[in-house]
C-alpha cells in the first residue's frame, strides 16, 4: 500500500489540497485561510517532489508514468508554484469575495501541470493539458473591474478562444496519428510511426499535434493571445501564465518530438522557420512597448522561439538544452514579475516609466529587476547566457548555421529593450516620488532566492544539465511489465 | 456505393475546415464558439472512423474523453461570454478592441 501511494504523493497532495480549498471557498470571508492553505500545499508539494525524486511507477495500464523525467520536472514546477503563491501576496487586484476561488483554481491548474509531465498516452495528455488550461481562463477573468480597467473579460475571451482553437487543431492531428498507428500510447506510437514517418499524413498529423503545445508556449502562429492576456490579467495571474505552463509545454513537446525520427528533414525546417519568425516578431514589437507586462509578453514570444531552436537539432542534447533554457526562463521571468507585483500600486499595470527611481525606493527590488533583465537579455554569468549558449551549440553541431546567426542577431536586438527598462529604473526621473516600497519577509526571501538561482544556474549549470540529460535517456522506453499496477 | 474510410476522412476534413475558417472569419463570439465545437467534432469523427477500420477500441475511448472535455470547455467559455456581455453589452469580436496599445 505504502509503495503504491509513495510515487504519486505530489499528485495526491494537490488533489487533497484542492478539496481543502474547495471547502474553504464555501465559507464567508476566509481569504486569509485560503492563502495559508495554498502556501501549505505549495510547501508540501515541494517536499513531496523532493521525496519522490527518482521513484518509478506506472498507472492506468501504461498511460501515466512516473519516471526520472517527470519527477525532475515536478520538482521544477513545484518550486515555481511556491514562488507564484508567495509573489501573489494578498492578491490586490482580485475582489475579496472570490479570493478563495482564485486559490482553488490556482491549485487545480497546478494539478494539471504536475500530471501533464507524467502523461505518456495522448488521452491522458489531453486531459492534463485541459485541466491545466481551464482554471487559467477563469483566473484571467477574475481581475477586479474599475475605472480605466475593463479589459480582463476581453483578454479572457481571447485566451479561451485561441486555447480551444489550438486544442481542436491538436486533437485533429492526434486523430491522424492514431489512425496511422492504431494506438494512443506514445511509446508504442513512436515504434509504429517510424516506418510511415515520410508519408504526408504522418507529417501533417504530427505538425497539427504540435500546434496545441505551440499555443502554450506562444510560438508564432499561436502567439496572438500573449500580449493581450498579459496586459488584461492581473499581475499575479500574468506571472503564472508567463512561467509554469511554458515548462509544462516544453516537457510535452519533448515527449511528442521524440515521435519523429531524427533523420526526418521536413519537421526541423518547419520548426526553425517558426523559431525565426517568433524571435523576430517578439523582439521587434517589444522594442515599442510602454507597459512592462506587454513588453514581457512580446519578449516571451521571442524566448519561446529560442527554446524551439533546441528542438531543431532533434537529438537528446537539443531537448536537454531546451529544457534547461525554459527552466532558466521560468526563474528569470518570475524575478521580473515579483518586481511588477510589488511596484504596482493596488494591483494595476506597471508602465516602464513608473519604475523610475526604483533603486532608491527599494534596492532589493531594483537588484532583482536588474539581475532578471540581464539574464533575459542573455548576458553572462546569468542563466540566460548559459541557456542560449547550450541551445546554439547543439543547433550548430547539427549544421544549422543560419539559424544560429539569426538567433544571435535577435539576442542583440533584445538587449536594447531590456537595457532601456534598466536605464529607466536606475536613471529615470522619478518626479520626487521616493516613497519606499515595504517588502514583507517572504518577498525578501523570494527575491534573494531568485537572484541566487539565476546566478547559480548560470555559473554552475552542469548538475541540472546532467540531471536533465540523464532523465531524457529513459524517455518513451517500452514499459517494464513488472511495474504496471 | 461502398462507403470507405476515405469518405469519413473527407467529411471530417470538411467539418474541420468549416470550423477553422469559421473561427477566423465570423465576428460573433457565440458563432465562433459553435465553429470551435465543429473542429472538435471533426476530430471525433476521424477517431471513430479510424477506430472502426483499425479494429482497436482506443479511438472510441478517446472520443468519450474529448466529448467530456468539450462539455467542460462550453461551460467555461459560455460563463466568460455571459460575463463579458454583462460588462460590455456586446458579443461581437470587432467591438472588443480595448487591448490595442
Given this model, what pLDDT does residue A147 score? 65
Average pLDDT of the residues of chain B: 87
Contact A127 B20 (CB under 8 A): no
pLDDT tens, A441-473? 888 899 999 999 999 988 888 888 888 888 887
Given this model, what pLDDT does residue A482 score? 42
Distances (CA, A) of A471 to A1, A80, A296, A399: 26, 20, 31, 26
Phi and psi at residue A66, in whole multiples of 5°?
Answer: -95, 110
Instruction: Tell me the fold of B5-95.
Output: Helix Hairpins (1.10.287)
In chain A, where are the structural domains located? 2-483
Is A265 within 8 Å of A314 (Cβ atoms)?
no
A137 → closest Cβ in B12, B66, B80: B80
% of chain A exceeding 90 in pLDDT: 27
Is A109 within 8 Å of A136 (Cβ atoms)?
yes
B62 → closest Cβ in A160, A172, A178: A178
Chain A: give the shortest CA distance to residue B1, in Å. 23
Searching chain B, which residue's CA lies closest to the CA of residue A285? B101
B42 → closest Cβ in A137, A172, A183: A172
Q: Assign A94 to helix, strand or coil.
A: strand
Contact B99 A228 (CB under 8 A): yes
- Give the Cα-Cα-Cα angle A150, A153, A158 (nearest 5 degrees): 125
Is A411 within 8 Å of A280 (Cβ atoms)?
no
A168 → closest Cβ in B39, B49, B87: B39
Q: What CA–CA distance (Å, rounded) separates A337 from A447?
A: 11
Q: Which of A168, A222, A233 would best serve as a mutation to test chain B binding (most B beta carbons within 10 A)?
A: A168
- Stronger pLDDT, A314 or A132, i.e. the higher one: A132
Given this model, what pLDDT does residue A262 score? 66
In the predicted structure, residue A128 carries a pLDDT above the cut 90: yes
pLDDT tens, B19-67? 999 988 888 888 999 999 999 999 999 999 999 888 888 889 999 999 9
Q: Which of A60, A63, A137, A153 would best serve as a mutation to test chain B binding (most B beta carbons within 10 A)?
A: A153
Chain A: give the shortest CA distance to residue B20, in Å. 8
Which positions in chain A touch B54 (Cβ < 8 Å)? Answer: 178-179, 182
B80 → closest Cβ in A122, A141, A151: A141
pLDDT tens, A397-441? 888 888 889 988 988 888 998 998 888 888 877 776 677 888 888
Given this model, what pLDDT does residue A351 score? 82
pLDDT tens, A29-57? 777 888 888 899 999 999 988 888 877 78
Which positions in chain B touch A151 (Cβ < 8 Å)? Answer: 98-99
Which positions in chain A touch B44 (Cβ < 8 Å)? Answer: 175
Contact A161 B32 (CB under 8 A): yes
In the predicted structure, residue A112 carries a pLDDT above the cut 90: yes
A333, three cell numbers: 521571468
Average pLDDT of the residues of chain A: 86
Pick from A80-89, A91-100, A209-218, B92-101: least confident:
B92-101
Given this model, what pLDDT does residue A151 score? 80
pLDDT mean over A15-24: 91
Note the ipTM here. 0.93
Given this model, what pLDDT does residue A478 score? 55
Contact A172 B65 (CB under 8 A): no
pLDDT mean over A225-254: 89
* 3-state helix/strand/coil string of B44-68: HHHHHHHHHHHCCCHHHHHHHHHHH
Given this model, what pLDDT does residue A2 score? 64
Q: pLDDT class for B101, splitting at 50, 70, 90?
A: very low
Contact B65 A126 (CB under 8 A): yes
pLDDT tens, A245-277? 999 999 998 888 877 766 677 888 888 899 999
Interface contact A98, partner B, CB < 8 A: no
Given this model, what pLDDT does residue A481 score? 46
Phi and psi at residue A438, in whole multiples of 5°?
Answer: -90, 130
Contact B96 A127 (CB under 8 A): no
Contact A175 B59 (CB under 8 A): yes
Q: What CA–CA distance (Å, rounded) separates A24 from A34?
A: 6
pLDDT tens, A349-370? 888 888 888 888 888 888 999 9
Contact A164 B19 (CB under 8 A): no
Amino acid at each position: 500500500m505504502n509503495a503504491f501511494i509513495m510515487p504519486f504523493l505530489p499528485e495526491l497532495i494537490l488533489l487533497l489540497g484542492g478539496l481543502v480549498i474547495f471547502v474553504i471557498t464555501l465559507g464567508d470571508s476566509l481569504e486569509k485561510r485560503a492563502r495559508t492553505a495554498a502556501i501549505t500545499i505549495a510547501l508540501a508539494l515541494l517536499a513531496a517532489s523532493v521525496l519522490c525524486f527518482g521513484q518509478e511507477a506506472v498507472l492506468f495500464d501504461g498511460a501515466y508514468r512516473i519516471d526520472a523525467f517527470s519527477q525532475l520536472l515536478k520538482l521544477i514546477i513545484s518550486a515555481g508554484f511556491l514562488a507564484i503563491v508567495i509573489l501573489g501576496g494578498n492578491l490586490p487586484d482580485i475582489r475579496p469575495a472570490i479570493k478563495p476561488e482564485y486559490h482553488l483554481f490556482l491549485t487545480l491548474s497546478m494539478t494539471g501541470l504536475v500530471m501533464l509531465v507524467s502523461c505518456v498516452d495522448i488521452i491522458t495528455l489531453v486531459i492534463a493539458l485541459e485541466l491545466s488550461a481551464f482554471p487559467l481562463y477563469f483566473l484571467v477573468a477574475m481581475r477586479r473591474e474599475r475605472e480605466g480597467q475593463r479589459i480582463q473579460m476581453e483578454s479572457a475571451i481571447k485566451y479561451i478562444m485561441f486555447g480551444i482553437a489550438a486544442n481542436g487543431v491538436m486533437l485533429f492531428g492526434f486523430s491522424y496519428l492514431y489512425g496511422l498507428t492504431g494506438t494512443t500510447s506514445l511509446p508504442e506510437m513512436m515504434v509504429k510511426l517510424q516506418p510511415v514517418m515520410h508519408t504526408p499524413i504522418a507529417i501533417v498529423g504530427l505538425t497539427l499535434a504540435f500546434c496545441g503545445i505551440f499555443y502554450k508556449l506562444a510560438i508564432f502562429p499561436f502567439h496572438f493571445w500573449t500580449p493581450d492576456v498579459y496586459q488584461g490579467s492581473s499581475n499575479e495571474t500574468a506571472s503564472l501564465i508567463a512561467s509554469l505552463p511554458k515548462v509544462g509545454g516544453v516537457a510535452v513537446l519533448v515527449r511528442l518530438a521524440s515521435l519523429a525520427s531524427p533523420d526526418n528533414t521536413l519537421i526541423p525546417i518547419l520548426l526553425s522557420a517558426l523559431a525565426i519568425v517568433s524571435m523576430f516578431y517578439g523582439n521587434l514589437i517589444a522594442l515599442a512597448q510602454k507597459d512592462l507586462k506587454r513588453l514581457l509578453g512580446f519578449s516571451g514570444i521571442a524566448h519561446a522561439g529560442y527554446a524551439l531552436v533546441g528542438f531543431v537539432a532533434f537529438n537528446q542534447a537539443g531537448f536537454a538544452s531546451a529544457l534547461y533554457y525554459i527552466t532558466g526562463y521560468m526563474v528569470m521571468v518570475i524575478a521580473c514579475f515579483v518586481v511588477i507585483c510589488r511596484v504596482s500600486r493596488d494591483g494595476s499595470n506597471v508602465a516602464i516609466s513608473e519604475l523610475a527611481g526604483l533603486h532608491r525606493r527599494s534596492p532589493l527590488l531594483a537588484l532583482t529587476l536588474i539581475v532578471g533583465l540581464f539574464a533575459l537579455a542573455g548576458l553572462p554569468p546569468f542563466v540566460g547566457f548559459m541557456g542560449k549558449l547550450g541551445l546554439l551549440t547543439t543547433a550548430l553541431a547539427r549544421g544549422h548555421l543560419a539559424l544560429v546567426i539569426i538567433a544571435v542577431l535577435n539576442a542583440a536586438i533584445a538587449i536594447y529593450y531590456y537595457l532601456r527598462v534598466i536605464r529607466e529604473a536606475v536613471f529615470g526621473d522619478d518626479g520626487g516620488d521616493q516613497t519606499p516600497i515595504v517588502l514583507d519577509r517572504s518577498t525578501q526571501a523570494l527575491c534573494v532566492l531568485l537572484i541566487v538561482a539565476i546566478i547559480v544556474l548560470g555559473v554552475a549549470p552542469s548538475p541540472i544539465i546532467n540531471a536533465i540529460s540523464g532523465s531524457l535517456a529513459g524517455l518513451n522506453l517500452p514499459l517494464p511489465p513488472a511495474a504496471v499496477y | 456505393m461502398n462507403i470507405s474510410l476515405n469518405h469519413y476522412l473527407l467529411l471530417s476534413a470538411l467539418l474541420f475546415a468549416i470550423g477553422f475558417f469559421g473561427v477566423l472569419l465570423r465576428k460573433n463570439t457565440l458563432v465562433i464558439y459553435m465553429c470551435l465545437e465543429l473542429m472538435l467534432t471533426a476530430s471525433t469523427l476521424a477517431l471513430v472512423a479510424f477506430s472502426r477500420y483499425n479494429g482497436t477500441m482506443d479511438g472510441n475511448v478517446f472520443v468519450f474523453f474529448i466529448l467530456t472535455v468539450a462539455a467542460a470547455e462550453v461551460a467555461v467559455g459560455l460563463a466568460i461570454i455571459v460575463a463579458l456581455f454583462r460588462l460590455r453589452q456586446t458579443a461581437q469580436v470587432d467591438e472588443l478592441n480595448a487591448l490595442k496599445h
